[in-house]
Protein backbone atom coordinates (compact mmCIF):
# COMPACT_ATOMS: atom_id res chain seq x y z
CA UNK A 1 0.00 0.00 0.00
CA UNK A 2 2.88 2.46 0.64
CA UNK A 3 4.18 2.03 -2.91
CA UNK A 4 0.92 3.18 -4.44
CA UNK A 5 0.49 6.12 -2.11
CA UNK A 6 0.52 9.43 -3.97
CA UNK A 7 2.45 12.24 -2.37
CA UNK A 8 0.54 15.45 -2.86
CA UNK A 9 3.16 17.78 -1.43
CA UNK A 10 6.05 16.37 -3.45
CA UNK A 11 8.12 18.88 -5.42
CA UNK A 12 8.96 18.26 -9.06
CA UNK A 13 12.47 16.97 -9.65
CA UNK A 14 15.16 19.63 -9.72
CA UNK A 15 16.48 19.81 -13.29
CA UNK A 16 19.35 22.15 -14.00
CA UNK A 17 19.14 24.42 -17.07
CA UNK A 18 22.04 22.57 -18.67
CA UNK A 19 19.85 19.48 -18.94
CA UNK A 20 16.98 21.25 -20.72
CA UNK A 21 16.76 20.28 -24.38
CA UNK A 22 18.23 22.76 -26.79
CA UNK A 23 16.00 24.11 -29.57
CA UNK A 24 16.42 22.38 -32.88
CA UNK A 25 18.11 24.66 -35.38
CA UNK A 26 17.61 23.89 -39.04
CA UNK A 27 20.73 23.13 -41.03
CA UNK A 28 22.20 26.18 -42.62
CA UNK A 29 21.56 26.24 -46.33
CA UNK A 30 24.40 27.09 -48.69
CA UNK A 31 24.67 30.65 -49.87
CA UNK A 32 22.33 31.47 -52.76
CA UNK A 33 25.39 32.84 -54.55
CA UNK A 34 27.15 29.50 -54.36
CA UNK A 35 27.84 28.08 -57.82
CA UNK A 36 26.40 24.61 -58.25
CA UNK A 37 28.88 23.42 -60.85
CA UNK A 38 32.59 23.62 -61.24
CA UNK A 39 32.58 25.85 -64.30
CA UNK A 40 36.32 26.23 -64.85
CA UNK A 41 37.48 22.64 -64.54
CA UNK A 42 40.48 21.30 -62.69
CA UNK A 43 43.02 23.86 -61.45
CA UNK A 44 46.45 23.84 -63.09
CA UNK A 45 48.75 23.81 -60.05
CA UNK A 46 52.49 24.43 -60.21
CA UNK A 47 53.35 21.47 -57.99
CA UNK A 48 56.00 23.63 -56.31
CA UNK A 49 53.88 24.82 -53.37
CA UNK A 50 54.02 22.81 -50.15
CA UNK A 51 50.92 24.37 -48.55
CA UNK A 52 48.29 21.86 -47.46
CA UNK A 53 45.27 23.00 -49.47
CA UNK A 54 43.08 20.14 -48.26
CA UNK A 55 43.44 21.41 -44.66
CA UNK A 56 41.65 24.61 -45.68
CA UNK A 57 39.29 23.17 -48.28
CA UNK A 58 36.11 24.64 -46.79
CA UNK A 59 37.84 28.00 -46.34
CA UNK A 60 38.90 27.98 -49.99
CA UNK A 61 35.33 27.20 -51.05
CA UNK A 62 33.99 30.07 -48.94
CA UNK A 63 36.59 32.41 -50.42
CA UNK A 64 35.69 31.34 -53.95
CA UNK A 65 32.03 32.11 -53.23
CA UNK A 66 32.87 35.48 -51.65
CA UNK A 67 35.04 36.35 -54.67
CA UNK A 68 32.62 35.03 -57.27
CA UNK A 69 33.43 36.51 -60.65
CA UNK A 70 30.10 38.35 -61.06
CA UNK A 71 30.31 40.25 -57.78
CA UNK A 72 34.04 40.58 -57.07
CA UNK A 73 34.45 43.86 -58.98
CA UNK A 74 31.74 45.44 -56.82
CA UNK A 75 32.41 43.82 -53.46
CA UNK A 76 36.18 43.33 -53.62
CA UNK A 77 37.19 45.58 -50.74
CA UNK A 78 34.23 44.64 -48.56
CA UNK A 79 34.00 40.87 -48.90
CA UNK A 80 36.50 39.31 -51.28
CA UNK A 81 39.79 40.91 -50.23
CA UNK A 82 39.39 40.32 -46.47
CA UNK A 83 38.31 36.72 -47.07
CA UNK A 84 41.18 36.12 -49.51
CA UNK A 85 43.66 37.60 -47.01
CA UNK A 86 42.29 35.44 -44.17
CA UNK A 87 42.56 32.33 -46.32
CA UNK A 88 46.21 33.03 -47.09
CA UNK A 89 46.96 33.65 -43.41
CA UNK A 90 45.32 30.35 -42.44
CA UNK A 91 47.22 28.44 -45.14
CA UNK A 92 50.52 29.95 -43.96
CA UNK A 93 49.66 29.25 -40.33
CA UNK A 94 48.85 25.64 -41.15
CA UNK A 95 52.13 25.35 -43.04
CA UNK A 96 54.12 26.84 -40.15
CA UNK A 97 53.00 23.99 -37.89
CA UNK A 98 55.21 21.67 -39.93
CA UNK A 99 57.87 23.95 -41.38
CA UNK A 100 58.42 26.05 -38.21
CA UNK A 101 58.57 29.13 -40.48
CA UNK A 102 56.09 32.00 -40.42
CA UNK A 103 56.72 33.11 -44.00
CA UNK A 104 57.61 31.81 -47.44
CA UNK A 105 60.51 32.98 -49.55
CA UNK A 106 59.58 35.08 -52.59
CA UNK A 107 59.86 32.28 -55.16
CA UNK A 108 57.92 29.77 -53.09
CA UNK A 109 55.37 32.47 -52.23
CA UNK A 110 54.73 33.24 -55.89
CA UNK A 111 54.09 29.58 -56.67
CA UNK A 112 51.74 29.23 -53.70
CA UNK A 113 49.84 32.42 -54.49
CA UNK A 114 49.43 31.26 -58.08
CA UNK A 115 48.18 27.85 -56.90
CA UNK A 116 45.67 29.42 -54.49
CA UNK A 117 44.39 31.66 -57.28
CA UNK A 118 44.07 28.66 -59.61
CA UNK A 119 42.06 26.72 -57.02
CA UNK A 120 39.74 29.67 -56.39
CA UNK A 121 39.27 30.39 -60.09
CA UNK A 122 38.39 26.74 -60.71
CA UNK A 123 35.59 27.17 -58.17
CA UNK A 124 34.18 30.27 -59.85
CA UNK A 125 36.17 33.10 -58.27
CA UNK A 126 37.21 36.18 -60.22
CA UNK A 127 40.27 35.70 -62.44
CA UNK A 128 41.92 38.92 -61.22
CA UNK A 129 42.30 38.15 -57.52
CA UNK A 130 45.91 39.33 -57.42
CA UNK A 131 44.84 42.90 -58.28
pLDDT of res. 94:
86
Decide: helix, strand or coil at residue 125: strand
Q: What DSSP designation does 67 have?
A: T
Q: Does residue 60 sit within a domain?
A: no
What is the dihedral sign for C-alpha 86, 57, 27, 81? positive
Q: Does residue 99 sit within a domain?
A: yes
The mean predicted confidence, pLDDT, of the chain is 75
Q: Does residue 63 sit within a domain?
A: no
C-alpha angle 88/56/79, rounded to 5°?
55
Q: Does residue 87 sit within a domain?
A: yes
The range of the structural domain enclosing residue 115 comes to 74-124
Q: Does residue 109 sit within a domain?
A: yes
**Exposure string for 37-47, b = 16+ CB within 10 A, e = fewer:** eeebeebebee
**Domain tally for the chain?**
1
The pLDDT tens digits of the residues spanning 40-83 come to: 678 889 999 988 888 888 888 888 888 887 776 777 778 888 88
The verdict on pTM exceeding 0.85 is no
Q: Does residue 27 sit within a domain?
A: no
Amino acid sequence: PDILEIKRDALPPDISPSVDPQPLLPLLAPSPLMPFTNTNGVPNLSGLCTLNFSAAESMLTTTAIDCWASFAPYLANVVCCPQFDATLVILLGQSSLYSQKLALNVTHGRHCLSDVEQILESQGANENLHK
